[in-house]
């Protein structure tokens, strides 16, 4: 069983190593499911951080539900609201965008980026296109029009086309492509998305991303943003947003124009009905223009977000080593379930806190989060589970070992206080009662019966005697041939008087059990058994003694020697049970005893031992016990008289 416990401990280490190896392989593989799981972990970091203030340089002019609803107002009263004619129905007239661009740039906007695709001639006729082109001719170096890589599925695979605006006059075009990760959330920076598309489809165009083109239109000739992932300031609405219809309202325009002075304006659809909605780490329904606006804001402030290690293989290897090192260190350092649980909890918290601080600090750096946390969690649970199984096996081993010596109740008490049991390994000084019992004339009896029958009888005798001892919380120390040695008060004590009384009760129980056994033996035609019992009380040393190959729990000391000697003295005195004076002093109020005087015993030649014979306990069973005592003494004297002296012939 001890080997099984160690095996489960080693199994915990093995499972921790397996978890670390799994983490390393998973992170190095960059499998879509691993990317998805890591994405969820990073989303947790963003949501824990919450929104932060963006720079004041960026604003959104939104094609929102409010602006779309203004068409119905125009239709109801066109004479009253003529300024709403360009937005009467979707798609809007391009004249609406021309008016907005004119007013925004006249109000001092640094650049206007229009997140609307103008791929075909206007449905309202050439004059509508001409109106917007005239505005572009006037402000073209400060305006960005949207372009797109269109990926369309076909029977032969994906077909990708570069879609660009048909309008003339704009100096800047920007690609509005975004790409979700396997978990459906948009994280990759625009230029990274474009690089991947160009690599997959062999495009050679040099169009920048929409956010990059916006900064170019604002005067930054070569904006550089070395970020692999998008930096989000918050959910939708984090960037100030103004409805498109407010720009067209002549009477209200004066109240809004100052909000665009010196700003980079992203003009585009935010209405859910227009379906330019994306999932992001901070929002499950972020409009495309908001993504572009937050990208522009991050570029302005130089907020980047990149993996701490670019190489996926190296990232996986180092993560696996760290996971394994942390997990094994905690597994070897702590052996108990609660400290292990707290240790692994602290390690997971530390890893998460490190990932958070690196991601939120300048520059933002990403380390694997979800997979390492999961691996540490699995490793910790494996340690706790295997440790619990190992501890349970060890407890069962100890219980079975203890129950060879003590009653189940005492074994349970010891196991509930393992620190007390541990002290037995190095020994402890204690006060206890020691009982010795020996069968009278056993050598002659075994000669008469033969080996097989002797062993059967001896086992029956031991079974009855041990039951009487364990019933009084005694500890079976050892069997020496036909002799029994037991302690009361070691390894656990109920108090001096109670320990002494338990020893006397056990001896009287042995007297009763042996009387019953004699009747059964006579009925079977077998010779009767008699024994002598000696009990002493005093100081003794208890613990495990022996060699590493074999240990034995036992008691040693003068008290043990005296108990053994007075057990032998029962033959001389002619009784079956003797106790010493120290034990008698503890139980004298509870027993009826006979003073058999002082006797010198081996090892005590200079100091006589006062002994007493126990007749019975005081109380309800007194008369019965006295009757049994008289019967036992009569039978014992007859047995001794009938037993031949000297060795068997």
Q: Which residue has the higher pLDDT, 142 or 330?
A: 142
> Residues 23-49: what's their mean pLDDT?
90
DSSP strand pairing (143-154 vs 172-175): parallel
> Residues 637-644: what's their mean pLDDT?
75
Q: Let me know if residue 22 belongs to a domain.
A: yes
Band (pLDDT 50/70/90 cuts) for residue 371 is very high
Band (pLDDT 50/70/90 cuts) for residue 614 is very high
> Residues 32-59: what's their mean pLDDT?
92
H or E, element range at 126: helix 126-139
* Claim to verify: residue 489 and residue 383 sit in the same structural domain: no
User: How big is the chain by its Cα radius of gyration, in Å?
Assistant: 47
Q: Let me know if residue 117 belongs to a domain.
A: yes
Q: What is the CATH number of the domain that holds 451?
A: 3.30.70.1230
Cβ-based neighbours of 286, under 8 Å, separated by 6 or more: 186, 235, 236, 277, 278, 279, 280
Q: What is the pLDDT of residues 68-84, one digit of tens each?
A: 999 999 999 999 999 99
Give the model's pLDDT for residue 422.
Answer: 47
Q: What percent of the chain has pLDDT over 90?
A: 62
For the cut 90, the answer to whether the pLDDT of residue 247 exceeds it is: yes
* Claim to verify: residue 11 and residue 88 sit in the same structural domain: no
| C-alpha to C-alpha distance for 597 and 612, rounded to whole angstroms | 7
- How much is the mean pLDDT over the chain? 89
* DSSP secondary structure letter of residue 64: -
For the cut 80, the answer to whether the pLDDT of residue 403 exceeds it is: no
Cβ-based neighbours of 611, under 8 Å, separated by 6 or more: 566, 569, 573, 578, 579, 580, 581, 596, 597, 598, 599
> Where a domain ends, among 365, 399, 433?
399
* Claim to verify: residue 515 and residue 472 sit in the same structural domain: yes
Q: What is the pLDDT of residues 89-140, one digit of tens each?
A: 999 999 999 999 999 999 999 999 999 999 999 999 999 999 999 999 999 8
Q: Which two tokens stand for residue 634?
A: 């009569």
> Where a domain ends, among 368, 399, 430?
399
Q: Which two tokens stand for residue 368?
A: 């694997």
* Claim to verify: residue 20 and residue 59 sit in the same structural domain: no
* Claim to verify: residue 163 and residue 15 sit in the same structural domain: no
CA-to-CA dists, residue 553 to 111, 424, 544, 549, angstroms = 90, 8, 4, 14
Domain that holds residue 469: 420-642
Least confident of 168-172, 381-385, 565-569: 381-385
Q: Which two tokens stand for residue 631?
A: 């019967």
Q: What angle do CA 193, 196, 201 make, to 5 degrees?
A: 125
The alpha carbon of 154 is separated from its chain's Cα centroid by a whole number of angstroms, namely 48
Give the model's pLDDT for residue 3.
Answer: 53
Least confident of 31-45, 231-245, 398-412, 582-596: 398-412
Q: What is the pLDDT of residues 406-451, one digit of tens each?
A: 556 555 655 665 555 445 545 688 999 999 999 988 888 888 888 8
* Claim to verify: residue 28 and residue 110 sit in the same structural domain: no
Band (pLDDT 50/70/90 cuts) for residue 221 is confident
SS3 of residue 581 by DSSP: helix
CA-to-CA dists, residue 254 to 104, 107, 193, 258, 345, angstroms = 11, 10, 40, 8, 58
For the cut 70, the answer to whether the pLDDT of residue 63 exceeds it is: yes
* Claim to verify: residue 25 and residue 58 sit in the same structural domain: no
Q: Let me know if residue 257 belongs to a domain.
A: yes
H or E, element range at 315: helix 312-333
Q: Which residue has the higher pLDDT, 516 or 384?
A: 516
* Residue 602, burial from CB neighbour count under 10 angstroms (0-12, 13-18, 19+): exposed
| C-alpha to C-alpha distance for 248 and 242, rounded to whole angstroms | 12
CB 536 within 8 A of CB 434: yes
Q: Which two tokens stand for residue 112?
A: 């206007």
* Claim to verify: residue 502 and residue 359 sit in the same structural domain: no
Q: Let me know if residue 411 belongs to a domain.
A: no
Band (pLDDT 50/70/90 cuts) for residue 268 is very high
Q: What is the pLDDT of residues 139-175, one digit of tens each?
A: 989 999 999 998 776 666 667 789 999 999 889 999 9
For the cut 80, the answer to whether the pLDDT of residue 263 exceeds it is: yes
Q: How far apart are the first and last CA of the chain?
A: 48
Q: Using N-to-C axis directions, what is the helix angle for 451-471 and 496-523, rounded to 10°?
A: 150
Q: Using N-to-C axis directions, what is the helix angle for 32-49 and 337-360, rounded to 10°?
A: 80
H or E, element range at 579: strand 577-580
* Claim to verify: residue 98 and residue 190 sit in the same structural domain: yes
| C-alpha to C-alpha distance for 122 and 130, rounded to whole angstroms | 10
**Which residue in this structure is represented by tokens 């996971």?**
323
pTM for the complete prediction? 0.66
Give the model's pLDDT for residue 447.
Answer: 81
| C-alpha to C-alpha distance for 104 and 61, rounded to whole angstroms | 10
Q: Let me know if residue 41 belongs to a domain.
A: no
Give the model's pLDDT for residue 446.
Answer: 83
The region that residue 194 occupies, defined by phi over 0 for left and psi between -120 and 50 for alpha, beta otherwise, is alpha
Q: Let me know if residue 143 belongs to a domain.
A: yes
* Claim to verify: residue 440 and residue 470 sit in the same structural domain: yes
| C-alpha to C-alpha distance for 514 and 464, rounded to whole angstroms | 7
> Residues 216-235: what's their mean pLDDT?
93
Give the model's pLDDT for residue 1.
Answer: 44
Give the DSSP letter string of 177-242: ---B-TTSBB-B-HHHHHHHHHHHHT----PPBHHHHHHHHTT-SS-----SBPPP-SSTTSS-EE
Q: 631, 9, 648, 19: which is closest to 375 by C-alpha?
A: 19
* Claim to verify: residue 486 and residue 525 sit in the same structural domain: yes
Domain tally, the chain: 3
Q: Let me know if residue 10 belongs to a domain.
A: yes
| C-alpha to C-alpha distance for 9 and 90, rounded to whole angstroms | 70
Q: Let me know if residue 282 belongs to a domain.
A: no
For the cut 60, the answer to whether the pLDDT of residue 210 exceeds it is: yes
Q: 299, 110, 95, 266: which is closest to 176 by C-alpha?
A: 266
> Where a domain ends, among 252, 270, 288?
270
CA-to-CA dists, residue 174 to 122, 215, 295, 403, 580, angstroms = 21, 10, 13, 83, 106
Give the model's pLDDT for residue 531.
Answer: 94
Give the model's pLDDT for residue 402.
Answer: 61
Q: Which residues of 555-584 are buried (b: 16+ CB within 10 A; e: fewer)?
A: bebebbbbbbbbbebbeebebbbbbbebbb
* Claim to verify: residue 428 and residue 484 sit in the same structural domain: yes
Q: What is the pLDDT of residues 497-520, one digit of tens each?
A: 999 999 999 999 999 999 999 999
> Residues 547-574: what's their mean pLDDT?
86
> Residues 611-622: what's their mean pLDDT?
90
Cβ-based neighbours of 492, under 8 Å, separated by 6 or more: 410, 413, 414, 420, 473
Q: Which two tokens stand for residue 263?
A: 């700003």
DSSP strands (E only) in 405-528 = 428-439, 475-480, 483-488
For the cut 50, the answer to whether the pLDDT of residue 242 exceeds it is: yes
């Amino acid at each position: 069983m001890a080997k099984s416990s160690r095996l489960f401990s080693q199994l915990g280490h093995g499972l921790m190593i397996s978890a670390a190896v799994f983490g390393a392989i998973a992170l190095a593989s960059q499998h879509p499911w691993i990317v998805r799981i890591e994405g969820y972990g990073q989303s947790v970091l963003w949501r824990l951080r919450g929104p932060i203030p963006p720079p004041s340089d960026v604003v959104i002019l939104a094609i929102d539900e409010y602006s779309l609803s203004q068409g119905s107002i125009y239709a109801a009263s066109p004479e009253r609201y003529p300024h709403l004619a360009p937005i009467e129905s979707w798609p809007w007239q391009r004249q609406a965008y021309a008016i907005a661009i004119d007013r925004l740039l006249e109000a001092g906007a640094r650049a206007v980026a229009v997140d609307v695709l103008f791929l075909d001639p206007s449905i309202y006729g050439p004059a509508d296109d001409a109106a917007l082109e005239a505005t572009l001719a006037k402000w073209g170096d400060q305006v960005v029009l949207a372009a797109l890589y269109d990926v369309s599925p076909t029977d032969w695979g994906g077909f990708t086309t570069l879609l660009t605006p048909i309008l003339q006059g704009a100096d800047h075009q920007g690609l509005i492509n975004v790409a979700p990760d396997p978990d459906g959330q948009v994280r990759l920076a625009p230029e990274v998305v474009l690089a991947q598309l160009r690599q997959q489809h062999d495009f050679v165009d040099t169009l920048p991303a929409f956010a990059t083109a916006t900064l170019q239109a604002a005067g930054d000739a070569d904006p550089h943003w070395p970020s692999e992932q998008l930096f989000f300031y918050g959910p939708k609405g984090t960037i100030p947003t103004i409805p498109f219809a407010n720009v067209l309202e002549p009477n209200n325009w004066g109240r809004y124009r100052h909000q665009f002075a010196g700003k980079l304006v992203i003009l585009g659809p935010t209405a859910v009905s227009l379906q330019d909605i994306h999932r992001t780490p901070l929002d499950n329904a972020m409009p495309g223009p908001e993504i572009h606006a937050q990208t522009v804001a991050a570029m302005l402030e130089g907020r980047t977000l990149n993996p701490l290690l670019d190489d996926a293989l190296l990232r996986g290897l180092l993560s696996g080593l760290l996971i394994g090192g942390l997990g094994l260190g905690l597994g070897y350092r702590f052996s108990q379930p609660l400290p292990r649980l707290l240790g692994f909890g602290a390690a997971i918290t530390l890893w998460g806190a490190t990932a958070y601080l690196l991601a939120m600090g300048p520059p933002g750096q990403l380390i694997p989060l979800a997979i390492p946390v999961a691996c540490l969690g699995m490793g910790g649970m494996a340690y706790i589970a295997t440790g619990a199984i190992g501890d349970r096996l060890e407890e069962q081993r100890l219980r079975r070992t203890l129950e060879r010596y003590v009653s189940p109740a005492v074994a349970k008490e010891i196991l509930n206080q393992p620190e007390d049991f541990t002290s037995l390994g190095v020994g402890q000084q204690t006060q206890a009662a020691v009982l010795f019992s020996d069968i009278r004339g056993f050598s002659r009896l075994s000669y008469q019966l033969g080996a097989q029958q002797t062993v059967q009888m001896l086992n029956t005798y031991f079974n009855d005697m041990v039951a009487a001892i364990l019933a009084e919380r005694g500890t079976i120390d050892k069997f020496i041939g036909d002799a029994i040695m037991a302690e009361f008060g070691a390894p656990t004590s109920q108090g001096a008087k109670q320990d002494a009384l338990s020893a006397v009760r056990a001896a009287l129980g042995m007297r009763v059990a042996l009387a019953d056994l004699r009747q059964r033996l006579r009925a079977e035609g077998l010779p009767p058994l008699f024994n002598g019992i000696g009990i002493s009380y005093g100081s003794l040393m208890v613990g495990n003694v022996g060699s590493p190959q074999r240990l034995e729990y036992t008691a040693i000391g003068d008290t043990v020697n005296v108990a053994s000697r007075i057990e032998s003295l029962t033959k001389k005195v002619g009784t079956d049970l003797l106790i010493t004076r120290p034990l008698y002093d503890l139980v004298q109020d509870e027993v009826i005893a006979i003073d058999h005087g002082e006797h010198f015993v081996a090892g005590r030649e200079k100091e006589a031992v006062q002994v007493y014979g126990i007749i019975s306990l005081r109380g309800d069973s007194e008369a019965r016990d006295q009757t049994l005592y008289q019967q036992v003494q009569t039978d014992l004297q007859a047995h001794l008289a009938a037993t031949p002296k000297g060795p068997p012939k």
